[in-house]
Structure 1
């Protein structure tokens, strides 16, 4: 079996390794140039390609359509997309002789779209996972090929959960590879009406609104904790990034639970929330750092 792989991030590295270990011939990898303005904390697909002598390219989104003749010439059995960030045009998807398959970091049809792990934590979910699905022009909408669940602990950050999702993605690939190698693609409907779609998140979305509940604030901190841009608030004229919070208590009796915002009591930092509950700030630092 021959494949062309669009890949980035840890999921891209780990799933590409799984394909190679299964004996799939990867004729080309399409990945991204690392953005010098981004906090790159994950493994490099380009580095893996160099180590394995796999040809790779890093086209911009506007250059993807120009790849169609190249992919038609390669005529891959499969096209895979593993955390590749651009939408792949329909004429490229059509170059796959058997199927074009994408790995998504949620339990589809839930959390279609961008930043699925971050959104799941923000909404207080207790589980998420990885889903391999057939690629269509509409994002994350094609039939489900394989799925694996992971738990989300009450204090786990997006990075913690992303590590689990990366492992789940490899488990899904290994689960379906025996059939894919025979040219069979297991399918079940992706029932979009039972799911949800969310767009990308911007750093500005990390602003804490203290009129929300303590649970909502805690979930926001977890969802965007560094190396993501972080949840932030103003305190004494400085913008502070909250990296870790706790709901566990016990909390000092001196706290004024009627006054929302930051309070410092007994050298401990607390955020008082709109439901008259507190979160303890375990780690924070100036945004300027």
Structure 2
């Protein structure tokens, strides 16, 4: 029986941890995060899985603590797995497992290395992403790929919808290659680093809309940041406007750039400075729903945007 220590969080952590359990892997330690009370917790709990299944586990936010490294080393595992654990593991951890350390990343590597790969893929207008199991190196997301499972990104998919697909892809990815990996026969394909793209951590402040962009770019931003994420927003003279759901209209419309207005079909539409027509399906101004009726009642049918 192969043994492992697992660093895991979020839905991907839950699903992949259960794959290891189903395969009979001896899980000697699970390291996870404590739920942040200031964060919108919309995902499943790795800690709860450990409680439910009597798995040895601990909460660790600082992986540099010597006591954590000592506990991990004392487990003498064959493998180390990282499934959406938020902190980077250094060389000391990667040297612990006898048969290798592996990470599940939420993209088709080498594309979208780094943080928040699903959100970035949607924001950048990608039409496909997926899950990649790869060997861990000190430099993140650069190790040889063991397996990948792709998923489509449809034109109006939100990041949350894509993340649900990626979580399933991660489960399928690990489940499919795990027998070969445990037997020491899994392929290890080096990444083409010339095709790599890297993106960093996002913050709520990064959701500010640039109305000089075109409609498609803004639509991508809205669906990348909508619920359960903090949202795409803009500051107007009337207060903060959040865009939660939009779509790009194919027909050309004679709309003055930088004005959100009610059209003849009683839709809320706007023409950003970069071109195209954006229909606003769900928005809030100062926390209140902004629909066609509200726009007509409060602003005579139009609201100026900061170009």
> Per the shorter chain, which TM-score range?
over 0.9
Equivalent-residue separation in structure 1 for 2:286 and 2:48 (angstroms): 31
Equivalent-residue separation in structure 1 for 2:271 and 2:67 (angstroms): 54
Q: Which residue of 2 aligns with 1:216?
A: 217
Structure 1 residues 37 and 287: CA distance shift in structure 2, 3 A:
farther
Contact persistence 2:63–2:89 (CA under 8 A): no
User: How do 1:1-289 residues align onto structure 2 when only pairs under 5 Å count?
Assistant: 1-61=2-62, 63-235=64-236, 237-248=238-249, 256=255, 258-265=256-263, 267-286=266-285, 288=287
Per-residue deviation at 1:182?
A: 1.3
Per-residue deviation at 1:104?
A: 0.2
Equivalent-residue separation in structure 2 for 1:202 and 1:234 (angstroms): 17
Contact persistence 1:263–1:272 (CA under 8 A): no
Structure 1 residues 106 and 137: CA distance shift in structure 2, 3 A:
same
Per-residue deviation at 1:56?
A: 1.1
Moved more, 97-106 or 53-62: 53-62
Equivalent-residue separation in structure 1 for 2:137 and 2:236 (angstroms): 47
Per-residue deviation at 1:35?
A: 0.8
Equivalent-residue separation in structure 2 for 1:139 and 1:65 (angstroms): 21
Per-residue deviation at 1:277?
A: 1.7
The TM-score with structure 1 as length reference comes to 0.94
Contact persistence 1:130–1:147 (CA under 8 A): yes
CA-to-partner distance for each residue in 1:46-74, whole Å, 9 max, x for gaps? 00100000011111225444322212211
CA-to-partner distance for each residue in 1:1-21, whole Å, 9 max, x for gaps? 111000000000000001100
Structure 1 residues 44 and 18: CA distance shift in structure 2, 3 A:
same
Equivalent-residue separation in structure 2 for 1:64 and 1:45 (angstroms): 21
Contact persistence 1:210–1:271 (CA under 8 A): no
Structure 1 residues 77 and 92: CA distance shift in structure 2, 3 A:
same
Per-residue deviation at 1:288?
A: 4.4
Per-residue deviation at 1:242?
A: 0.8
Contact persistence 1:239–1:286 (CA under 8 A): yes
Per-residue deviation at 1:27?
A: 0.9
Structure 1 residues 67 and 150: CA distance shift in structure 2, 3 A:
same
Equivalent-residue separation in structure 2 for 1:212 and 1:101 (angstroms): 39
Structure 2 residues not aligned, in runs of 5+: 289-307
CA-to-partner distance for each residue in 1:141-199, whole Å, 9 max, x for gaps? 11111101000000000000000000000111011111122133420001222111110
Equivalent-residue separation in structure 2 for 1:249 and 1:264 (angstroms): 17
Per-residue deviation at 1:271?
A: 2.7
Equivalent-residue separation in structure 2 for 1:109 and 1:145 (angstroms): 13
Length, aligned pairs only: 286
The TM-score with structure 2 as length reference comes to 0.89
Equivalent-residue separation in structure 1 for 2:15 and 2:122 (angstroms): 23
Per-residue deviation at 1:265?
A: 3.6
Contact persistence 1:67–1:92 (CA under 8 A): no
Structure 1 residues not aligned, in runs of 5+: none
Structure 1 residues 164 and 105: CA distance shift in structure 2, 3 A:
same
Equivalent-residue separation in structure 2 for 1:149 and 1:192 (angstroms): 19
